[in-house]
Structure 1
């Protein structure tokens, strides 16, 4: 989680300081990869402690 948070922060800082449009696009993509990692990590952290039977996922499967 720390690496993805650093990726978002670093990408945002570099995007703000980018001069050419290609650098802005590249740093925004880098920031987006970090944000995607944060979203996946958050869902994993929320869902990991709950067993499927308790969450109702076993009934849907």
Structure 2
């Protein structure tokens, strides 16, 4: 079953915290996860904006 975007965000956030706990924040592994997290957060906000626009039109 595919995780919802907010669940994916939480999963990546925890993964990034775990990796960063023993590495520098500029470590390539930390940066890679952070970039993935940024993409998912942007996708989430864009999808929320679309939902909000639809509900404003319908209402």
Match of 1:58 in 2: none
Q: Which runs of 5+ in 2 are unaligned?
A: none
Matched with 2:5 is: 4
Task: Normalising by structure 2, report the TM-score.
Answer: 0.70
Alignment of 1:25 with 2:31, yes or no, is yes
User: Counterpart in 2 of 1:15?
Assistant: 16
- 1:7, CA displacement in angstroms? 2.3
Larger radius of gyration: 1
Any gaps of 5 or more consecutive residues in structure 1?
A: 55-61
Equivalent-residue separation in structure 1 for 2:9 and 2:16 (angstroms): 10
Query: What's the C-alpha RMSD, in Å, of the aligned pairs?
Result: 2.0
The count of residues paired between Structure 1 and Structure 2 equals: 51
